[in-house]
Every structure is written in C-alpha cells, then in structure tokens.
Amino acid sequence: MKPEDFHRIVFESADIGIYMTALSGVLMSVNEAFARMMGFESAATLLAETAANPGTLYCDPTRRGRLLKKIRASGHLTNEVSEINRRDGGRVWISESASMHGMGTDNAVLIGTVIDITELVASQQALRTAEERYRGLFENAVDGTFISSLDGKMISANQALARINGYETPDELITAVNNIAVEWYVDPKRRSEFVALAERDGFVRNFESEIYRHKTRERIWIAETARLVRNPNGTPSHFEGTVVDVTERKNFERQLMLARRDAESSNRAKTEFLASMSHELRTPLNAIMGFSELIAMMTRADAQETRVHEYAGDIHASARILFRLIEEILDYSKLESGKATIDEGIVDLAEIMQQCVTMLSARAAKGDIRLHLSLPPDLPRVRGDQRRLLQIVLNLLTNAVKFTPAGGQVSVSAAREPGGGLIFGVADTGIGISARDVERIFEPFVQVNRSAFHQQEGTGLGLAICRSLVELHQGRIEITSQPGQGTHVRVLLPASRVAPADDSSRPVVRQAAADPAGS
C-alpha cells in the first residue's frame, strides 16, 4: 500500500471530522465524518453549499476571526471549544485543533480535526446548574448547614449557621472554630457520641444537644441531622448536615414539665384533702343517719309524734343525699388522678340492667313514667367491674327518670354489635338537651337544664364519672339529644370486653353494690 493510499483511507474512514480550509475560510476538503457532524449527506454537498459563505458555520460570527488571530500568533490551535450551526438548524458543540501550513505565504492553509462534544458540554452545563442550585440552597437555607472534618474543624458553613453562632458571615465562623467538641458542646462528650452514632449508622437524626453560641458563649439548644461521608475506598472523609435552633421548644418543654409537676402536686394535695375531708364528713353523717333512722323508728307508731317522725325522715334523706355527694366527689377525684382501678370479673350485664330498673321503678311510678327494658335472650356476659358497670347504668337511668316529665317513657336496652362489641344505653322522651349543652355535658360539675325543668340534685359529676368508668373498660360513651325530643345515651364496649359463651375462668358476679353513687 502506498503512503498516499493509507492517508486517504484514514481521512475517509476516521470517526472524527477532518478539514482543510484556506485562510479566507473557504473549505477546501472535509471528510465524511465532518459532513455528518454538520448535518450533510456527504462531504461534496457540504463543500458545495458552504463555498459561497464559509463564515456561517460558527454560531458566533466573530469566532473564526478570533481563532485565526490565535493560529497566526502561534501556528496552531488546541482543543478550542466552539458552537457551530448544523444544516438542519440545530447546533452542536465541537472541540477543534488545527495547525497552519505554508505560514507567511499566499497559499497558507489550515488543517484541523473536529470532535463533537455536545453531550459533554450539556453534562457540564447541567453540572454547573446543579452546583449553582446547591450553592443557592446551601447559602440561603433557613436551617444551618455545615461540612466538618472528622477531628472537629469547620470546613464549610452557611449564613444561617453563622447567625446561630453569633457571627456575621460564614467565613468568621469557619475561622473562629478550631475544635467543635471543646468549643461548641456544653458537654464535651456529646461530640464523641455524635461521631459514634454516625460511624455505626452512617447518619444521625435530630441529635439534640446544649451548645454554646460560639461567639457570645450563650447557651442554646440545637438539633443536628447529619451523615458521615466516606471516600470511594470506604474510609470516613467528613460530616455534612444541618443544624436547627430548638431553644424555644426546649424552654417550652421545660415550662410544660414544671407546670405538669405543679399540677400533679396539686392533684395529689387535692386527692389527699378530699380523702381526709370525706372521712371527716362521713363519720358525723353516719351518726346523723343512724340517729335519725332510730328516731323515725321510735316515733313511727306514735300518733302524737307524727311531725317528729317526718322530721327524722327528712333528716335521714338529706344526710343520705349529702353522703352520696361526698362519695361522688371522692370517686371523681380518684378517676381524675388516674388512681381508680377496676376489679375485673365475668359480669351478667342483663342482670345489672334488670336490677337498676327495679331500683328506679318506684321513683318512676311516682313520677308517672313508664320504664321499659329490652334485652335479647342471648346477650353475652362481659369482662368488667360489676360495681362500676352498675354505677354507669344506674347513673344514666337516674338522669333519664329525673329529666322525663309525667307521662313519658324511659327505655333501657342492650345488643351485640356487628363488629363483635356490645352496646347498651338509656333513651328517654324527656326535655332533651340543646346542641350547645351536649358539647359540655360530660364536663365535671356541669349541670344543664337547671331552670328548664326542676331544681336538680347532685354535683354535676354523674356523667363525667360515667365517661371515665367507660374509658376504664376501653369503651366510649355517646349522646344524642334535641330539646323537647328526649335524650339517648349509648355505651359501646369493645369486642375484647365480651366474654366467650363458655368462659368460666372467673365466677359470674351476681351481687349488686349496696349503694352505688347516684347521678
């Protein structure tokens, strides 16, 4: 093969563009790779279409003149990057290297090579854009952002972190900090704990520490989130992360903790006071009830002592009411302080409801109120506290009778829920409750309808106690009512409270409490 044949084959088959051009800019020869790069079907077509206007190849019309000035000065170009026009209107980026031959003569020419670097330029532009975006986020982030060395030197910081530490600029902070562990953390061991967590997990999240505001030495609280950055070989390189000033939140939490301690102390004092007062009050009340009952018995058959007998009965009844009020207040105090517990057993709820209806039947009859009990024959037993469940039903039933006028009806019912739970409740045709009062009916010491019907007995704790007792059984209590259309209160116990039909793990409790608290 002749040398000229070798050069021709290289020229025609090379993947990079090769050209020869006169100093005027007219292309004298190009290979097929250069033609394809410019969007032409062949080298001949490219030469023909650009012969009259060679300056149109560069997107910047001044670009060729500047390149020509360079090559005249040194005789060559190396990796000059330019943007050129394609035939189809598109643009490509090229890296151009060239040399001048016949320099100083009228026949001087430029011979060079061209590589398409469009993808490289696009990736570099994307990288620059990403870097600018990252820089903007880093510098303008609300939270402090940092890069620190493994030995505790601040490498990079943003404006927010500088402000957190009392400095005007990040450069001030970076210059001032020499050892984060010693100069920053109030407890020097925190830096070691930070590093240990990062090395174990690769990151730390919400790492809260008390630190010194570096410039002023004021104590503040921060939360750090950071990761340990490793070199390609896996060795730790540095830390990068964010810092949030949480001083305000920590102060609030401290105040909340102190307030909680004060509240708990007050609750304990209140409970102790109520327990003591309850004991002190019940002792004379027992004597009053005992003596008034004795006087009533002694004067029952004596016609001359009829008025004394009535007075003794009134004293006994009033003492009983006062006794129940004291019991309610003490009961609610225990529930509110979280000291109340339930004595669990297998309880026959149907029997409890029947007992409550029997206990209220005389009062209902006296007020011309019909009591109706509706229970399915297969109502399951429940796991719960016999006395507490009786207290719930009796409170609800007493309220219903109390607020139902003559000729009305009170219904007590229970049923199995489709989801496996159990629901029981009391509905009445009484005076009802307004929507505004329904929202606060379960609040302690709240008494609604006081002037709408009649003077109420009680403390207003009955429904508040009911709700607490229901919640002790993991249930919930609901109420629906409208003025003049009655009230319906429902208690829903979860399926976990329903005893299996063959459950005999504990005996069924049959005996009702002697004197459950009223409403």
Work out the percent of the chain whose per-residue pLDDT is above 70.
Answer: 86
HEC string for 391-446: HHHHHHHHHHHHCCCCCCEEEEEEEECCCCCEEEEEEECCCCCCHHHHCCCCCCCC
d(C-alpha 239, C-alpha 253), whole Å: 29
Chain-wide mean pLDDT for the chain? 84
Distance CA 388, CA 366 (A): 27
64 pLDDT above the threshold of 90: no
Question: Measured between alpha carbons, how far is 482 from 464 in angstroms, rounded to an integer?
Answer: 20
Structure tokens at 13: 């088959």
- Confidence band of 186 (pLDDT split at 50, 70, 90): very high
Q: In this structure, are residues 443 and 503 in contact, taking their beta carbons and an 8 Å threshold?
A: no
**Phi, psi dihedrals of residue 27, rounded to the nearest 5°:** -70, 125
Which residues does residue 486 pair with via DSSP β-bridges, in sequence order? Answer: none
Spatial neighbors of 433 by CB under 8 A, at least 6 apart, are: 441, 448, 449, 479, 481, 482, 483, 487
Kindly tell me the number of DSSP H helices and DSSP E strands found in the chain.
15, 18
Percentage of the chain beyond pLDDT 90 is 38
At 260 the pLDDT is 86
Range of weakest confidence among 61-70, 141-150, 236-245, 335-344 = 335-344
| pLDDT tens digit sequence for 127-163 | 777 776 766 666 666 788 899 999 999 999 998 999 9
Distance in angstroms (rounded) separating the CA atoms of residues 295 and 99: 134
pLDDT at position 264? 78
Q: Is the pLDDT of residue 446 over 70?
A: no
Same domain, 327 and 376: no
Closest CA to 426 of 474, 342, 364, 514: 364
In a domain, 443, yes or no: yes
196 and 156 in one domain?
A: yes
Residue 269 vs residue 229, higher pLDDT: 229
pLDDT for 516 equals: 35
Q: 412 and 461, same structural domain?
A: yes
437 and 290, same domain (yes or no): no
Q: Which residues pair with 230 in a beta bridge?
A: 236
Whether 133 maps to a domain, the answer reads no
Give the domain extent around 362. 345-509
Strand partners, 242: 145, 225
Q: Note the pLDDT of residue 11.
A: 79
- Which residues make Cβ contacts (< 8 Å) with residue 456, sequence separation at least 6? 402, 447, 449, 450
Is 132 inside any structural domain? no
pLDDT at position 445: 60
What amino acid occupies position 285? L
Task: Answer whether 146's CB lies under 8 Å from 225's CB.
Answer: no
The answer to whether residues 478 and 505 belong to one domain is yes
Same domain, 447 and 502: yes
Does residue 508 surpass a pLDDT of 60?
no
Supply angle C-alpha 246, 250, 255, rounded to 5. 150
Of the two residues 50 and 299, the one the predictor is more confident about is: 299
Q: Do residue 330 and residue 399 come from a single domain?
A: no
Residue bearing the bigger pLDDT, 25 or 237: 237
CA distances from 194 to 25, 179, 224, 246, 420 (A): 66, 14, 9, 17, 50
Tell me if residue 299 falls in helix, strand or coil. Answer: coil
Q: What angle do CA 116, 119, 120 make, to 5 degrees?
A: 90
The answer to whether residue 518 sits within a structural domain is: no
Tens-digit pLDDT profile for residues 476-489: 999 999 888 899 99
pLDDT at 473: 92
Report which of residues 295 and 271 the model is more confident about.
Answer: 295
323 shares its domain with 383: no
Instruction: For residues 180 and 213, state if they share a domain.
Output: yes
Does residue 134 belong to any structural domain of this protein?
A: no
Q: Which residue has the higher pLDDT, 321 or 91?
A: 91
User: Same domain, yes or no, for 326 and 372?
Assistant: no
Question: For residue 456, is it within any domain?
Answer: yes
pTM above 0.85, yes or no: no
| 512 — pLDDT class (breaks 50, 70, 90) | very low
Q: How many distinct structural domains can be found in the chain?
A: 4
Segment (H or E) for 219: strand 219-230
Domain end point (choices 223, 245, 267): 245
Q: Are 179 and 192 in contact (CB under 8 A)?
A: no
Using DSSP's 3-state secondary structure scheme, residue 199 falls into helix
pLDDT at 127: 79
**Domain co-membership, 364 together with 426:** yes
Q: Are residues 111 and 181 in the same domain?
A: no
Whole-number Å distance between alpha carbons of 238 and 443: 57
Return the pLDDT at 265.
Answer: 82
CATH code for position 383: 3.30.565.10
Query: What's residue 161's pLDDT?
Result: 92
**In-domain check, residue 130:** no
Q: What is the CATH number of the domain that holds 148?
A: 3.30.450.20
State the amino acid at position 168 in one-letter form. Answer: E
Say whether pLDDT at 25 is over 90.
Answer: no
Specify the amino acid at residue 90.
Answer: G
If pLDDT is split at 50, 70 and 90, which confidence band does 507 have?
A: very low
* Kind of pairing between the strands at 476-481 and 144-149: unpaired
CA gap 18, 488 in Å, rounded: 95
**pLDDT of 505 higher than 50:** no
- pLDDT at residue 487, rounded to an integer: 93
Residue 160: beta bridge partners? none
